[in-house]
Structure 1
Amino acid sequence: MPTIKDVAKRAGVSIATVSRVLNNKGNPTEKVKKRVLEAAKAVGYTTNIMARSLKSGSTSTICIFTPSYYLVNMPELIQSTCKMAQRSNYYTELILDADPNSITSLLKMGKYDGAIIVDPKNTSFLREIAKININFVIIGNDIDREDINTVDIDYFQGGYISTEKLISLGHKNILLLLDHPHNTITKEFRRGYLLSLDENGIQYSEDLIITPADKDLLNLEEFGYESIMNTIKTLSFTAVLSSSKRIAVGALNALNKIGLKIPNDVSFISLGNSNMLRCTFPEVSIIVAPFEQMGELGTEVLLNNITRQDSIIKKIKLQVQFIDRGSTARISKKRE
């Protein structure tokens, strides 16, 4: 079995240098890091995690607790988190849909150097976790705790600026198609939509705000399709705003089947980028939420806490961006 001495010989550096690189200690140059990692790969050397844990008290492992919703709908968030950890020689363990008691119990076991908790619905258990001697970061939820690191996206702004855009074009009856009713994304996006309507003196209608039932969460494309087909029978709307790219795909298919053209008949904006939303003509205008950057920054904050004992609490909120692709237009006189 290859040893650290084999890696040092192959890389042409000292055993101490190899140890520093593999344990993410000291400040070796990027050139040296690359040479050592390439040598380790070439000789087939792998770090014995248990041995390292016994010697240093570190497992070099972080745990990601996330609702399965984020893995399915925002895979770039989880992928960027894992890649960022890997670049710093940390392993990741992914645990889906864990309840607060399970999260607390697992973190008390000492298996992990730190944890990332994605959009926890119940935040009261964080008081218990804060008492444990472990670093953790919350991403996707800007909880009201000054002693906990958080990295979030301004979904409220996404709902607000997209609604403002549609109102500026004369739209008042704006159909809002929302995602999972308990997610922070949905709650904040809806809040931005409602504030924009209120500031412009437009009375909102609950009938124009549609959220999926639990059974619909398994097929959001179908939910988007059926929402349009059912709403068009009883209500008049001139614009559609979706908080999910998957819901948007279904809604676009329904509008196309009905024969309503975008943007001449209906203006359309969706949160989230997707190649599917570029297959229409015109392409769908979108609100881009930086999920990948949120994952990277959350992991960076956590690793700085672990490796540098950075005790300064970080409260980071990333901004969304509106990209106009031509799927919105001023409301026609006949539809005002």
Structure 2
Amino acid sequence: MAASIKDVAKEAGVSIATVSRVLNDVDVVNDDTKKKVVDAIKKLGYRPNIVARSLKTQKTSTIGIIIPDISNQFYPEIVRGAEDVANIYDYNIILCNTDMDVEKEMEYLKVLREKMVDGVLYMSNSLGKNTIELINKLEIPTVLVETIDKDNSFPSVVIDNEQAAYDAVKYLIDKGNNKIAYIGSDEENFNAAALRYVGYKRALREKDINLNPHLVHFGGMKPNDGYEGILSILNEAEVDAVFCAGDEIAMGVINALREKGIDVPNDIEVVGFDNIYASEIFYPKLTTVAQPMYDMGSVGMRMLIKIINKQSIEEKHYVLPYKMIERNSTKK
């Protein structure tokens, strides 16, 4: 039979109220008494009744993490960073994968509210008006990772996606390319990938290169989107380089080019985005924009835990550094 709080109190020679104070980290118990209670807990193998405790404290020590695509190597690395920090502060994680489905995102938010999570770390394919209204209605402390809302009302952890894309495209232009294709998200989608298209256009504009709509393909972030995207573009226009809004897109592009007998990087240079694990073992190894994925998760989780515990946060919007990683999909 499992030990009860009454058993712990008897073993430690204290009242049930004192054991409760120790469990809830109330600073009115002296160190000697606290040690007796902790030793009794360990000896008896006592585990608090989480449901009863959460009803009393209105906290469950549980945090929901919502991600759009668990199969994309970008998101598990963020989750790892978040989970490592959550473990330090004794929080449990409920992971929700939405498959890029807005309705599924909203349903998960409702489920997490029913589970009485203390907060949500939120990554979204597109943070629309209805989703924002639901988050506000449910009154769940929320930190955005990898994306922002239009009004910057939620705390967030991102990189400067527009500037990073601008730097990547400028890098290709400076290498002598002027027929640079873009494959990725449409700017109508309010997400991180869409800002990369804005950066692509700005780099062309500042270098006096006209935007050729035949060099642009909007779609998803999977390898097949890159594969089909570059084949569609090649039917319409000449290409000397491709900027991809994600590494998986870039891998699909390279596979399609290889099948057509087009050499990367000698015939067409390719740049990806994210620096996922596979970008370094793919052939050819991808030149890409590296995001600090682990740090995005850990910083976001620290922010969220502070907010849950009503502590002040140093910054409401963290913009972390990125860097270009030069590998073999571009010329040296």
Which bracket does the TM-score occupy, shorter chain normalised?
0.7 to 0.9
Show the counterpart of 1:201. 208
Residue pair 1:157, 1:320 contacting (<8 A) in 2 also: no
* Alignment of 1:94 onto 2:95: yes
Partner Cα separation in structure 1 for residue 52 and residue 119 of structure 2: 19
- Match of 1:175, SS? strand
Partner of 1:11: none
1:248 maps to amino acid:
A
The 3-state SS of whatever aligns with 2:242 is strand
Question: In the alignment, what sits opposite 1:212?
Answer: 219
Q: TM-score, normalised by structure 2?
A: 0.77
Structure 1 residues 247 and 62, CA gap change in structure 2 (3 angstroms):
same
User: For 1:202, what is the secondary structure of its paired residue?
Assistant: coil
User: 2:78 matched to which residue of 1?
Assistant: 77
Give the C-alpha shift of residue 19 in structure 1. 7.4
Which residues in structure 2 correspond to 1:152-301 (within 5 Å)?
152-179=158-185, 182=189, 184-212=191-219, 220-279=222-281, 283-301=285-303
Other-structure match for 2:330 = 328
Equivalent residue number for residue 113 of structure 1 = 118
Is 1:137 aligned with 2:143? yes
Deviation track 1:171-204 (CA, whole Å, cap 9, x = no partner) reads 1101112158736122111000000000010001
Give 1:166 deviation, angstroms: 0.6
Are 2:247 and 2:288, in contact at CA under 8 Å, matched by a contact in 1?
no
* Structure 2 gap segments, 5+ residues each: 10-15, 28-36
Q: Answer yes or no: is the 8 Å Cα contact 1:239–1:268 preserved in 2.
A: yes
Change (3 A) 1:225 1:61: same
Quickly say closer, same or farther: Cα 1:180–1:197, change in 2 above 3 A.
closer
Q: 1:173 to 1:113 in 2, by over 3 A?
A: same
The amino acid that maps onto 2:238 is S
- Matched to 1:151, the amino acid is V
Over the aligned positions, Cα root-mean-square deviation in angstroms equals 3.8
Note if contact 2:289-2:325 (Cα within 8 Å) is conserved in structure 1.
yes
Shift of 1:70: 5.4
The more displaced of 76-85 and 306-315 is 306-315
AA aligned opposite 2:166: Y
Looking at structure 1, the residues matched to 235 and 137 of structure 2 have their Cα atoms a distance apart, in angstroms, of: 55
What whole-Å deviation, never above 9, does each CA across 1:45-82 have from its counterpart, x for those lacking one? Answer: 54421122133221111222333x25644221233223
Q: What's the CA shift for 1:17?
A: 11
Report the residue type matching 2:299 in the other structure. Answer: L
Which is worse superposed, 103-112 or 179-188? 103-112
Q: CA deviation at 1:123?
A: 3.7
**CA contact under 8 A between 1:162 and 1:322: conserved in structure 2?**
yes
- Segments of structure 1 that go 5 or more residues without pairing to the other structure are 9-14, 27-35, 331-336
**C-alpha distance in 1 between matches for 2:171 and 2:285:** 17
Distance 1:249 1:45, change over 3 A: farther
TM-score by length of 1: 0.76
Q: State how far apart, in whole Å, the 1-side matches of 2:284 and 2:313 are.
A: 49
| CA distance, structure 2, for counterparts of residue 320 and residue 239 of structure 1 | 22
Q: Is the 8 A contact 1:22 1:89 kept in 2?
A: no
Take 1:135 and 1:55, find their aligned partners in 2: how far apart are those partners? 19
Q: Which amino acid in 2 is paired with 1:114?
A: G
Query: 1:127, 1:316 → 2: CA distance?
Result: 23
Q: Partner of 1:333 in structure 2? A: none
Structure 2 distance, partners of 1:101, 1:283, is 38
Measured after TM superposition, the shift of residue 208 of structure 1 is: 0.8
- 1:276–1:201: structure 2 CA closer, same or farther, 3 Å change rule? same
Q: Contact between 2:65 and 2:120, CA under 8 Å: does it hold in 1?
A: yes
Distance 1:273 1:129 in 2: 31
